[in-house]
Amino acid sequence: MIERRGLGRPMAHLVLIVGLFIVAFPIYYTFVASTQSLTTILRPPLPLTPGDQIGANYGEALFGGIGRIGGVAVTTLLFNTLVMALGIALGKIFISILSAFAVVFFRFPLRMVFFWLIFVTLMLPVEVRILPTYKVMVDLGMIDTYAGLILPLIASATATLLFRQFFMTIPAELVEAARIDGAGPLRFLKDILLPLSKTNIAALFVILFIYGWTQYLWPLLVTNDNQMNTIVIALRKMVSFADADTPWHMVMVTSILAILPPVLVVVLMQRWFVRGLVESEK
């Protein structure tokens, strides 16, 4: 680490504090707004300290239901979004580990063709294939279902590539030692490959969870029922162009609640990253 002397240190801190303020203030201001009544918000200026409506606002949002989105409670929204984000993250990890496993450790005809096919899907994100995907989902009757929210987003070339690169760093002798020790392919995957990949999995999980949590376009299309909305979609629906119609205090509450789970995931998983970095096992 570089030791800074004299003015360097306070300067560095000043820059950090200013940066932190720029990033954190809007979030703080959102929180403040979420504790005010609608009338206070609509009559500027907005106070800089939390108001007295915190219990009422959060209670109503979480357990009562919000009128603008058909009286659905934020708990329902949170649950929907959680199912989708977890489904996407875990599904992507599951599928890409299996496909990377096949591509790296098995010799079969057209192996590289399959690998390139997976690779090519990088060029076909959801936005590009949205119409055919929507048609397929309609035909399968998956509109307004969790499966419909999750399945089209599961295939992941990026994660497959990441695991492929990692699997290729595993020494051939380790694979051979396992073969001699009587571990078949699936047991090798379970007993050796997965434990060795856990830091990769953890890192990927964080990225994919946030990717899933912030999905907008696909959930907007595939959910019609208010009960199936994700929190991002609901937030969008709450905001009306006529200011008076928008329950701003509820929007702020929902925003804060929408931020919390991804923040939690990052904070909790951070320890895994560090442990994975310190404990180099290979």
Partner 1 sequence: MAKIELKDVRKVYAGNVEAVKGVSLSVEDGAFVVLVGPSGCGKSTLLRMVAGLESISSGTVQIGDRVVNDLEPAERDIAMVFQNYALYPHMTVRKNLEYGLKNRKMAPAEIARRVDEAAKMLEIGALLDRRPGQLSGGQRQRVAMGRALVREPAAFLFDEPLSNLDAKLRVQMRAEIRRLQRRLRTTSLYVTHDQLEAMTLADTLVVLNAGRIEQAGSPMEVYERPASLFVATFIGSPAMNLLPLGEQGIPGLTAPEGLFSRTRPAETLGIRPEHMRVVDGEAPRPEEMRFDLTVSGVEVVGAESFVYGTLPKGGSEIAVRVPGYSHAEPGTPLTAAADTSYLHRFDRETGRRI
Return the number of the residue (127 or 279) whose C-beta is nearest partner 1. 279
75/148 Cα distance (integer angstroms): 20
Return the number of the residue (123 or 180) whose C-beta is nearest partner 1. 180
Q: How far is the CB of 196 from partner 1 (least distance, A)?
A: 6
Q: How far is the CB of 89 from partner 1 (least distance, A)?
A: 23
Binding mask 83-102 for partner 1 (x = CB under 8 A): --------------------
Q: How far is the CB of 1 from partner 1 (least distance, A)?
A: 25
Which SS3 state, helix, strand or coil, does residue 72 take? strand
Q: Do 107 and 126 form a contact (C-beta atoms < 8 A)?
A: no
**Smallest Cα–Cα separation from 159: which of 215, 83, 88, 84?**
88
Using alpha carbons only, what angle is made at residue 153 by residues 149 and 159, rounded to the nearest 5 degrees?
A: 145
Return the number of the residue (142 or 203) whose C-beta is nearest partner 1. 203
Binding mask 227-246 for partner 1 (x = CB under 8 A): --------------------
Q: How far is the CB of 176 from partner 1 (least distance, A)?
A: 5
Q: Characterize 151-176 residue by residue with b for buried, 16 or more Cβ atoms within 10 angstroms of its Cβ, and e for exposed.
A: bbbbbbbbbbbbbbebbeebeeeebe
Q: How far is the CB of 111 from partner 1 (least distance, A)?
A: 15
Q: Which 162-221 positions form the footprint of partner 1 (CB under 8 A)?
A: 171, 173-174, 176-183, 187, 191-192, 195-196
How many CA atoms are closer than 13 Å to the CA of 92, on its beta-carbon side?
Answer: 30
For the record, the structure tokens of 13 come out as 């801190």
Enumerate the H helices of the chain as residue ranges: 8-34, 38-42, 54-59, 74-105, 111-120, 130-139, 146-150, 157-168, 172-180, 185-188, 194-213, 217-222, 231-238, 248-278
| Burial status of residue 207 (CB atoms within 10 A of its CB: 0-12, 13-18, 19 or more) | middle
Return the number of the residue (11 or 194) whose C-beta is nearest partner 1. 194
Q: How far is the CB of 186 from partner 1 (least distance, A)?
A: 12
Residue 55 binds to partner 1 (criterion: CB under 8 A) = no
Return the number of the residue (39 or 280) whose C-beta is nearest partner 1. 280
Return the number of the residue (43 or 187) whose C-beta is nearest partner 1. 187
Q: How far is the CB of 181 from partner 1 (least distance, A)?
A: 4
Return the number of the residue (181 or 225) whose C-beta is nearest partner 1. 181
Q: How far is the CB of 280 from partner 1 (least distance, A)?
A: 7
Q: How many chain residues bind partner 1 (CB under 8 A)?
A: 20
Q: Which 263-282 positions form the footprint of partner 1 (CB under 8 A)?
A: 279-282
Q: Do 93 and 159 form a contact (C-beta atoms < 8 A)?
A: yes
Return the number of the residue (135 or 271) whose C-beta is nearest partner 1. 271
Q: Do 132 and 113 form a contact (C-beta atoms < 8 A)?
A: no
Binding region for partner 1 (CB under 8 A): 171, 173-174, 176-183, 187, 191-192, 195-196, 279-282
